[in-house]
């Protein structure tokens, strides 16, 4: 990836963008316009969008072209995801979106400082690259993917560090749903500070 060669105040590498329903976490069930930026160096083994990792495989799109279909949709909520979207300076993009859209969320591993005006910070830490301290301070939502029995204690280690207003979610890794969802249900019943996040968009078979 050659992120340093990208002037993100003018254009960004976009894998895809689409209007759909947010399937996970706090805003699950809400209509949302997704922008999936390409480029990621976190390398989650169970990532379901590995095609997003290499930013050079995806076109650079100018900010006006990114925003045009957003403004033509009926959305009042934009989600910037990836890849790892915080690799880029998002300030020009978020300023432009905020001219028309009141609510912008980011889905990030928390490995990079956030540059941009974001209203909802969904922090999903990964074992493959440690998050920075800023992520715990900014997090509105902590979403931990459970793919191994040890991930419950790993989730607690992050929950102890986030701010007191942060919402806490556990989400089964999709391919291990049958194994871990029953364990997550029992865990949340025993630890009611947590909530369950389901990938409802996959159940609905939508993007």
The token pair that represents 196 in the structure block: 């369950």
pTM of the model: 0.94
- Across the chain, which has 207 residues, the per-10-residue mean pLDDT values are 71 97 97 97 82 90 98 98 96 98 98 98 94 98 97 98 98 94 98 97 90
**Amino acid 48: pLDDT:** 77
The predicted structure's pLDDT at residue 3: 53
pLDDT at 168: 98
* Domains, the chain: 3-203 (3.20.20.70)
| Whole-angstrom distance, CA of residue 120 vs CA of residue 114 | 12
Give pLDDT, residue 47.
Answer: 83
Q: Could you give the CA distance from residue 88 to residue 81 in angstroms, rounded to a whole number?
A: 11
CB atoms within 10 A of CB 78: 27
Q: Which two tokens stand for residue 36?
A: 């999936």
DSSP 73-110: S--SEEEEESS-GGGS--HHHHHHHHTT-SEEEEEE-S
Dig out the tokens for 129 from the structure.
């690259």
- Note the pLDDT of residue 31: 98
Bridge pairing between strands 60-62 and 11-21? antiparallel
């Amino acid at each position: 990836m050659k992120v340093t060669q990208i002037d993100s105040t003018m254009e960004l590498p976009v894998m895809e963008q689409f209007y759909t329903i947010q399937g996970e976490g706090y805003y699950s069930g809400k209509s949302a316009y997704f922008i999936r930026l390409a480029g990621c160096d976190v390398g989650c083994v169970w990532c379901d969008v590995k095609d997003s990792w290499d930013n050079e495989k995806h076109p650079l799109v100018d900010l006006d072209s990114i925003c045009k279909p957003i403004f033509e949709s009926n959305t009042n909520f934009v989600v910037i995801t990836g890849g790892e979207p915080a690799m880029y300076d998002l300030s020009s993009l978020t300023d432009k979106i905020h001219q028309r859209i009141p609510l912008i969320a980011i889905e990030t591993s928390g490995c990079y400082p956030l540059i941009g005006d974001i209203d909802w910070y969904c922090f999903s830490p990964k074992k493959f690259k440690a998050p920075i301290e800023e992520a715990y301070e900014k997090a509105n939502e902590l979403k931990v993917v459970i793919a191994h029995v040890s991930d419950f204690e790993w989730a607690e280690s992050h929950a102890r560090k986030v701010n007191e207003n942060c919402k806490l979610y556990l989400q089964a890794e999709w391919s291990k749903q049958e194994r871990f969802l029953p364990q997550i249900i029992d865990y949340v019943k025993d630890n009611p500070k947590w909530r369950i996040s389901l990938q409802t968009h996959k159940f609905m078979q939508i993007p």
